[in-house]
Amino acid sequence: MDNLTHTLVGLTAARAGLERLSPGATMLCVLAANSPDSDIVVLAFGDRWDFLQHHRGITHAIAGVIVLAIVLPLIFYVVDLLWSRLRKKPPAAKLKGLLIASFIASATHPLLDWTNNYGIRFWLPWSAKWSYGDLVFIVDPYIWLILGGAAFLLGAKTKPLKFIWAAVAAILTFLIVFSPRASGLPNRPLIAILWIVALIAFIVLFVTGARERWGSKIAFAAFALVICYSGLLAVAHSRAISRGSEHAARLAGSNGEVVARLAAMPTLANPFRWDCVFETDRAMYRFNLGLVGDAQPGNAVRYVKTPELKEKVSEQRPARVFLGFARFPVMELEDPGCTTQTLVQLADLRYTEPGRSRGTFSLELPIDCPVQYSRR
């Protein structure tokens, strides 16, 4: 998930009662909820391929999360101890309380990251196997709204904090309601209305003293709503797998193939629309799927497997790293009729197609011609 979601989870967990375990526990919860993403330091010492290879690596695995959950509160405690000695006062931090808060907040990070289709490797360094929840899109405005609203109601106690929350709300509202970047949102006018109505409701609850009346119950209610929402997504995912498998069998059968594996992945802010990707012995397929009514799957694409091309590009390090990460790797030549050299375009079909993107989930590499390759 995105770091805003992790931050809101840490804040809400603190407001649910973890902040009472020790002075500094609120800040610790926020940092612990984000700490597995400390693997970004790889970029300071390597390139994008080093980052792709190590992101969601050991710091997201069970072993790494345990280490981080211990180290972070120890740093807090030692800093507080040194500071208290300089001030000639007894230390305020409680190590046991910091450790409890850290373990709880840290554990939320890999769990949330597992829910999306990027995946996570829980058992590093013993096993590099990826696990995918395929339930929640990597950015989910509904989760922002639920957890952000709870954190605001419980945390906006001073004028500076009220200003910060107003700024956060204004930025997110612009991104969702007005920004051209939000053009991919389904039923955008409806989502914009829902967002604004919810903001007004949170402001009314704040002004009428919801924090004083309900206290930490607000945080528990927010987590309960997120769990219920995730449960509904799990039901939708199960239906997407069922309907997607039926359509995949028909598509594969029309080409004399059999489905080997299939994934149904969520789309942005739309639990009724899913992307399906599946593999056969000879090809990779992708199509989108609606769950409402008798909507027919659409935009099906098929990429023939090319083991000889895969073997050729694997001689280059970027391709080896990319293929080690990609869940549904596909590739094609930019110019199949070349005579000297061309580019081979690689993509992870769960995100994009060859030639359509030049971001993290695609790659172009030079290759000598000719190579026997065809796409149907």
DSSP secondary structure, 230-272, as one string: HHHHHHHHHHHHHHHHHHHHHHHHHTT----EEEEEEETTEEE
User: What does each C-alpha distance from 147 to 181, 263, 318, 367 come to in angstroms?
Assistant: 23, 28, 38, 49
Residues 254 and 358 in one domain: no
For residues 198-213, b (16+ Cβ closer than 10 Å) or e, as one string?
Answer: ebeebeebbeeebbee
Residue 328 belongs to some domain of the structure? yes
**Token output for 334:** 């930019």
Residues 14 and 127 in one domain: yes
Residues 120 and 240 in one domain: no
- The DSSP output letter for 21 is G
To 10 degrees, what angle do helices 3-15 and 95-114 make?
A: 140
Residues 4 and 100 in one domain: yes
Nearest Cα neighbor of 354 from 286, 288, 298, 307 is 286
Show which of 253, 277, 303 is a domain's final residue: 303
**Per-residue tens of pLDDT for the chain, all 376 residues:** 999 999 999 999 999 999 999 999 999 999 999 999 999 998 888 888 888 888 999 999 999 999 999 999 999 999 999 998 888 888 889 999 999 999 999 999 999 999 999 999 999 999 999 999 999 999 999 999 999 999 999 999 889 999 999 999 999 988 888 777 666 677 788 888 899 999 999 999 999 999 999 999 999 999 999 999 999 999 999 999 999 999 999 999 999 999 999 999 999 889 999 999 999 999 999 999 998 876 667 789 999 998 888 888 888 899 999 999 999 999 988 877 776 777 888 999 999 888 766 567 888 888 877 545 444 4
Show Cβ contacts of residue 292 under 8 Å, excluding neighbours closer than 6 positions. Answer: 272
Residues 120 and 18 in one domain: yes
The backbone torsions φ and ψ at residue 264, rounded to the nearest 5 degrees and listed phi first, read -115, 125
d(CA 241, CA 97): 43
The predicted structure's pLDDT at residue 374: 42
Show Cβ contacts of residue 198 under 8 Å, excluding neighbours closer than 6 positions. Answer: 145, 149
Residue 253 belongs to some domain of the structure? yes
Residue 204 belongs to some domain of the structure? no
* CA geometry: angle 288, 294, 299, nearest 5 deg: 25
d(CA 70, CA 62): 13
Residue 4 belongs to some domain of the structure? yes
User: What does each C-alpha distance from 74 to 14, 28, 38, 90, 178 come to in angstroms?
Assistant: 18, 11, 17, 17, 44
Residue 145 belongs to some domain of the structure? no
Show which of 303, 333, 350 is a domain's final residue: 303
Residues 254 and 348 in one domain: no
List the domain range (segments joined by +) for residue 255.
234-303
Residues 274 and 336 in one domain: no
For residues 313-342, b (16+ Cβ closer than 10 Å) or e, as one string?
Answer: beeeebbebbbebbbbbbbbbeeeeeeeeb
Residues 6 and 95 in one domain: yes
Residues 321 and 298 in one domain: no
The total number of structural domains that make up the chain: 3
Quote the pTM value: 0.92
d(CA 106, CA 90): 28
d(CA 267, CA 272): 9
Residue found by looking up tokens 């002004």 in the block: 207
Residue 245 belongs to some domain of the structure? yes
Residue type present at position 54? H
